[in-house]
Every structure is written in C-alpha cells, then in structure tokens.
Amino acid sequence: MKKLFLAVLMLGPAVGLRAEDGHQLWLRPHVSVPVTVVLPARTSALLATARQELQQGWQGPAGATITLSLKKDKAIKYDGFRLSAQGVQASTERGLLYGVFELLRRQQIGQAPEAGLSNPSYEHRLLNHWDNPDGSVERGYAGKSIFWRKDSALVVTRRDQTLWQQYARANASVGINGSVLNNVNASPVILSAGYLGRVKAIADALRPYGVKTYLSVKFSSPVLLGGLKTADPLDPAVVKWWQGKVKEIYQQVPDFGGFLVKASSEGQPGPQDYGRTHADGANMLADAVRPYGGLVMWRAFVYSPSDKDRAKQAYNEFVPLDGKFRDNVIIQVKNGPVDFQPREPFSPLFGALKKTAVMPEFQITQEYLGHAIDLAYLAPMWEECLQSDTYQAGPGSTVARCTNGSVYRQAHSAMAGVSNVGLDRNWTGHDFAQANWYAFGRLAWNSSAKSAQIAEEWLKLTFQNAADATPAAEAEWNAKFLTPVAQLMLASREAIVDYSMPLGLHHIMSATYHHYGPGPWWAPSGMRADWTPPYYHQAAANGVGFDRTRTGSDAVSQYHEPLASQLNDPATCPDEYLLWFHHLPWTFRMKSGRTLWDELALHYDHGVQQVRQFQRTWDRAQPYVDAERFAAVQNKLRTQSGNAVMWKDACLLYFQQFSRLPIPAAVEPPMHTLEALIKYDTPAPRPARQP
C-alpha cells in the first residue's frame, strides 16, 4: 500500500505566499502526477467524478494504476469502502468516491498508508440549511443563501451551478451525503411548482458528488398552498394532497431524500393543532414518501410557553410515543435539552427512545458561540456529546452508540449539522469556521474520531504549502504553526464557555443582537419567560442556577442511573454542569476549595486571558500564512478579545448585584460599568469579507 502515497513536506517561513481568500476550503489544488484509473464497466456521473478527482489530485507514483471496484462485501456497511494496494473497493458508487477522497487526503497530509476497511458510523450524514426562499439565512453569518435569492429566484445561472458543484464536492470530500436545502421554519412556497424546478436544478448539480437533496416542509402546506380547510394528518383529503405533492417532487428529483419537519414548536403549525400526536403527523408523511424510499426527519425541538422547566418538554412529549413511529421516521434531537448552548448536558432523549430511530442534531453555525466573529472549533463539543454515557443499556451506552444502531436496532441512522455556509467568498464568514464544516463530516463518518486529529488534518489541508521542502522545514512548520495553532483550536470552545456561560450557566446572551454578546439582564416587558436569561440563571441574593434536582424541576430523573443520582448531588455533579442542575449559594464551597462566586469570577477571567493568548499565538504564525487570511483572522481575534472582556464585565457586575461579594484580586478589574454595558448591549458586527 505504501507505493500509493507520497508524503507532502511543509515549508517553513515563506516570503510572498500566494494570497488566498479561503474559497477553496480544505481542497486547495496541488500539482498532480499522471495516474491510470480503472473504472467498473458501467458508466455514471458519479464514477466520472471519482475518476476526475483522482486524476486532478493524485500525488502518488507517476503512472500508477488505481482500480475502482464495485463489489458486494458483507463487511462493507452503507457507503463504506476498502482500501488496498490496488485501489478502492466499495458496494456503492458513493463508497468509491469516498475512498478516492481518503486516498488523496492521506497523500496531501503525508499520513501513513492504512489499507483496510472504512465504514461510516451513520447511514445518512446531512447538512441542514436554514435558508429562506428570499435568500436570507436564519442564524446565518456568512452572507446570503447559496441556493435561493430574492430577485429572479427561479432563474438558474451558470454561476449558481458552479457554486453548487463546489459545495457538493466539499461535502463529498468529508463524506456528507445529504443536504436539506431550506429553513426548518419552512415557507410553503418551497413546494410550489416553480421552486421545485429550482430544487431539481440543485439536485442535478449535487448528484454527481453523491449528495441527495431534502426539503423542510411546513405542516400546514395543504391549507396554505393547497387550499384545503385543514392540515389534520388523519383527514383523507390531507393524506391525498401530500401523496400528490410527493409524487410531483419525485417526478422532478427521482433520488429525493425526504422531508425535515419542525412542527408544534415555537408557533410552527403541527399535528397537535388538530388534537393529534407527533407520531400521527410524522407517520402520515412517512407513508407518503415510503414508496419512493424517502425518509422523514421529525425534530424533537418542541416547547410551548410554560412556567415549568423547558428542558424537560421534549422528553415528556416523545418518550410516551416510543415505538409508534414508522421505521422510515427518524427523530432529530438537538445535542442538548435546551438549544445549542455553548455547553449543555446531552439530551436525555438519547437512549430513552429504544424502539424509535433517533439522530443527533449539531449546530455548525455559531448561533450562541460568537457567530462568524469568534474563533470556536466545535469538534470537542460534539465529541463530548457523542461519547457521553447514557447508561440506558448499561455502561458504555454512549450517545453515539445509542443513535448509530449499535445499542438499539433501527432501520436507519443519521446525523445532522445546521450549516454555516453562505455566499461569503470563504463560505463560512470566518476562515476557522470552515474547520467545523470539515469536522462535522469527519465525525459523522467516524463518531469515534478525535478532535485533535481532525484539527491537525484540517490545518494541513488548509494552510500547508508544499514545494521542494526539506525535513527541517517540515519540522519547523510543525513546531511553529501546526502544534500551537491546533492547541489554540482545541482550547477555543472552552474559552468561550469560560468568558460567557461557565459552570453550567446557559442562555444568558443578549437577544437584542440575535444571541451575540452578554445579556443576563435581558427580560423585556411582556416577553415569555423561557426566552429570557433570568428564567435560566435565577440569580438572587440566595444564589444562582436552575434547580433541576429531585426537589426542583426533577429534570435529573430523565437521565438513567447512576447518572441521575450523580447529577442530583452538587458534591458529585461535574463542575461544568453545576449551575445547570443546581441553584446554589454564592458562598457554596467548590471542589477547588474556592467559593462559587470566586470560581465563577476566575472562569470569566480565564476565558479573557485565553483569547489574548490566542492573539499572541496567531501573531507568531504570521510567517506561515498568506497575508489575506492572516489579516482576516487577526482582525476577528481582535474583535473577539474586546467582546470577551465585555462578557466578563457584564456578567460579573450583574451577578455582583446579588452576591454582594468583591471580585477576587486575581481577576482583572472591570473596564466598563454595568450601566454602560446595558445601554450598549453588545452589537454583532457584520463579517468583513463579502463575495
């Protein structure tokens, strides 16, 4: 197998590195050498793609012959593949393409050859786009939608097609095989004939890279689009309408993947409007797509205005329905029980649904983690969730194993990531936000992958420069760029937790500027309580935190033993979840020996100091990065550093009103007054680079 690979050496400091704008992502072109590709006897656009990728990216021995072989093998799962000295074997054409990208990735990063089997952890690995028909993107921080636009929305240009092909290629390179093209807060217009024509054009562009298209649908579409008087899922006229619409879709897109549905949540219509259950609604749609092999992904993000604990509602609604869903329904569950917070315990629905397929939903776009301004590498957060033990079927029943079919038999498995892709030239608004797109694909393929390994892969693919380098230059690049910048990435998410919501605090951001910046005080008159930070932090003279113990909301009882008892006791509850599950006095003695107040203050300060260290690390990396991307990241770190200070000052000064304790001497004194911060309410500056 060794002969298939050519180690790529990295340059040391270079003068005049070629300017890069990040558009090529981790797929930057390299000088290739000739290779002969032997394909199966059949022909297809996807096989042609695999051959093209090999020919334009091969860096192995010149004149090598690589065979792509389609052959059934019981050991090959889904779109997995087997590498050998001869090439790639797979059971599907997609598997061959993924094997090709694996060969090329290893060549480009100089990774040791590794013949053998590679199977994906999940059958379906999807991006969820929250893109609207007018081209806007909900929680999008990288410009307008790549799929839709307000003017001439149904006209498909060559630029559109090129962009969609580039997008599909990026997804295929990390094993992503599905794309939901529109917002879960769906508009019924997406199912109109004109928009379905554009869906067809998008599907045609994605198909050669093995990426299926899916649509989010509004549950009330039969009323809003079809003119019916009801959207009751048990009404025969409604069933017939959906059957007709599904037939229309598959006539346009024969390999259409299916529907994503947000229903009976945040004011979105759903089956509960008609006295029906989530199972009634999901099954009606599942029956409509079943003849075509389609899936329904039904989101468990449901909650209604309540003075009870919002974190409990999804569990309470879905656990009684376990086993009542069709086998082509997958319940899509956010990683945490509230809403993509910088840190949450895993959702108790993972493992609790034993007879129903469940899929994790992660947020790649940084809604609560600094938008496209703050540098936040999210793989450690996702790894933390996937490897959390639910204990539902005994020790070792991790979230990953409970959702990928290892613990419970389920007809389908899937993982979804809410996309951060937009029209910005670098796709994601922040050059380092590209790493989260990459990492999502790698973890969806291998849920046991390590964040550190993924970070190093991405850095090599995205920033290394190969040309007549020497071993000494490679060692220098590793020591002065790769190692420190990888460490920066691995620490970045924890730094944001520290300077924004440490020790289990959550949902205390400002809503004035769309979830960017501090807002522990934010509670406008008339606003529903569970949309305001005071509902969650419960700060008062007697302490801080949300009491979810058995004497509080009893959310701990939704977790399996021994975890429930561990979380219930502040002495055994991990510090990172302490204020998620407990309301504790400001003078509570922490495991460190410090008071809760002092510990909280030190975490806030540590987060600020971490970001300043990130700035120093990146400044030292300047000789190894092209000037354009270096400056872009440097400017964003400068903004992040200032905003980290605002987070620290705002939260400590606000909470000090209740604790009435001094800020520890080891903590940098506030630079702002609370009154000024409340008046200013940290705005979210627009990412600098545009297409």
Residues identified as active-site: 266, 339, 367
Specify the amino acid at residue 684.
A
CB contact set of 591 (below 8 Å; sequence gap of 6+): 575
The closest of 60, 61, 54, 90 to 73, measured between CA atoms, is: 90
In contact, 359 and 333? CB cutoff 8 Å: yes
Three-state SS at 139: coil
For 35-89, the DSSP string reads: EEEEPPSS--HHHHHHHHHHHHH--SSTTEEEEEEE---TT--TT-EEE-SSEEE
Q: Is the peptide bond before 269 cis (omega within 30 degrees of 0)?
A: no
Using left for φ > 0, alpha for ψ between -120 and 50, and beta otherwise, residue 412 falls in beta
Count of residues for the chain? 691
Cα of 648 vs its chain's centroid, Å = 26
Cα–Cα distance, 67 to 100 (Å, whole number): 10
In contact, 688 and 631? CB cutoff 8 Å: no
For 318-332, the DSSP string reads: HGGGTT-S-TTEEEE
Tokens at residue 473, please?
Answer: 């230059």
Using left for φ > 0, alpha for ψ between -120 and 50, and beta otherwise, residue 458 falls in alpha
Tokens at residue 66, please?
Answer: 């690589």
Cα–Cα distance, 438 to 434 (Å, whole number): 6
CB contact set of 204 (below 8 Å; sequence gap of 6+): none
The closest of 272, 340, 262, 349 to 555, measured between CA atoms, is: 349
Tokens at residue 244, please?
Answer: 């007709």
- Tell me the C-alpha to C-alpha distance, in Å, between residue 414 and each of 13, 389, 396: 43, 19, 20
In contact, 519 and 533? CB cutoff 8 Å: yes
Phi–psi pair at 126, nearest 5 degrees:
-120, 150
Q: Would you call 99 exposed, middle or buried from its count of C-beta atoms within 10 A (0-12, 13-18, 19+)?
A: buried
Tokens at residue 186, please?
Answer: 């769906």
Tokens at residue 315, please?
Answer: 């569990």
CB contact set of 355 (below 8 Å; sequence gap of 6+): 322, 323, 408
CB contact set of 72 (below 8 Å; sequence gap of 6+): 91
E strand or H helix at 260:
strand 258-261
Cα of 640 vs its chain's centroid, Å = 21
Three-state SS at 146: coil
Phi–psi pair at 685, nearest 5 degrees:
-65, 150
Taking the alpha carbons at both ends of the chain, their separation in whole angstroms is 42
Tokens at residue 158, please?
Answer: 């060559």
Q: Would you call 67 exposed, middle or buried from its count of C-beta atoms within 10 A (0-12, 13-18, 19+)?
A: middle
For 190-247, the DSSP string reads: GGSHHHHHHHHHHHHHHGGGTPEEEEEE-TTHHHHTT--S---TT-HHHHHHHHHHHH
Using left for φ > 0, alpha for ψ between -120 and 50, and beta otherwise, residue 504 falls in left
